[in-house]
A and B are shown apart, each in its own frame.
With several copies, the nearest count.
Chain A
Amino acid sequence: MTVGPSTSARTLTLKVLLFATYAEQAGRESVVLTLPDPATVADVLHHLRSSVPGLDRLPIQPLAAVNQAHARLTAPVRDGDEVAFLPPLAGG
């Protein structure tokens, strides 16, 4: 499924992964998203919150990862990146 604006000149397509409470809220474990380029993790979060039912309840500043490493919300995302939003970690 692709969610996002269709009017941008250049775009980037991302796979967004959801886990635990976030996956349950969205009713899914991943979303493919197309966004105007350039974009940051915060832009991905904003699009998810406004366009995916259930994800309007995501926190303002969730933990995030880009390509399997922790990332700040200000980090840029690039075409093909794997972005993830992580509920509070509870390992160990």
Chain B
Amino acid sequence: MSAFLTHEPIDLAALIRRVSGADRGGIATFLGLVRNHQDGRAVLRLEYSSYEAMAEAESARIVAEATGRWPVAIALEHRLGALEIGDAAVAVVAASAHRAAAFEACRYVIEEVKRRVPVWKKEFYADGSVEWVDPTRMAAPIVTAPGQ
């Protein structure tokens, strides 16, 4: 059950090694790094949490969809727990003999992960406030205290 979720720092080079075979010379990757601001507010750190069993199952479904649709091998990892600014929160690696397939599969996987994998992000701001990030809202709402 720990194929796609990790509490450790993401090791992109290790993920690349996992999928780059003799036949797969084209490697497209996507890394999502923690930014130091959200809607104009300074972020100090954040915590990712998840519905882990479903996140693993949904990630496996997404990877299966991608490998069924393109001739690729996929590595996918999403980090949970406390992250610092600049840390990688998610990594996707798509390796293929075909460059176009690697790019398309990599893009597909990250888009579907963001759309479907149950992960939530709690941000801790420089002004002391804390908030669960809601990407469906255009701008951040008024501060919500933790535990409220």
Are B132 and A89 within 8 A (Cβ)?
no
In residues 105-148 of chain B, which contact A (Cβ within 8 Å)? 110, 113-122, 132-137, 144, 146-148
A56-92 vs B, CB cutoff 8 Å, 1 = contact: the mask equals 0000000001001110000000000000101111111
Contact B90 A92 (CB under 8 A): yes
Q: Are A91 and B54 in contact (CB under 8 A)?
A: no
- The answer, yes or no, to whether B45 is at the interface (CB within 8 Å) is no
Roughly how many angstroms separate A46 CA and B34 CA in the complex, as a whole number? 37
B121 near A86 (CB under 8 angstroms)?
Answer: no
Q: For residue B79, which residue of chain A has the nearest CB?
A: A91
The answer to whether A91 and B114 touch across the interface, beta carbons within 8 angstroms, is: yes
Which chain A residue shows the least CB distance to B59?
A91
Q: Does A20 contact B (CB under 8 A)?
A: yes
* Total interface residues in chain B, CB < 8 Å: 35
Bound CA span A17–B120, Å:
14
Tell whether, in the assembled complex, residue B120 and residue A90 are in contact, meaning their CB atoms are under 8 Å apart: yes
B89 CB–A CB distance under 8 Å: yes
Contact A92 B148 (CB under 8 A): no
Residue of A nearest to B99 (CB): A92
Residues of chain B within 8 A of A86, CB atoms compared? 51, 118
Additional pairs, 13, CB under 8 Å, beyond known A68-B51, A91-B90, A92-B113: A19-B49, A19-B118, A20-B120, A68-B53, A84-B118, A87-B132, A87-B134, A88-B134, A89-B135, A90-B133, A91-B48, A92-B78, A92-B110
Q: Which residues of A pack against B, CB within 8 Å?
A: 17, 19-21, 24-25, 65, 68-70, 84, 86-92
Chain B residues with CB under 8 Å of chain A are 32, 48-51, 53-55, 57-58, 61, 78, 89-90, 110, 113-122, 132-137, 144, 146-148
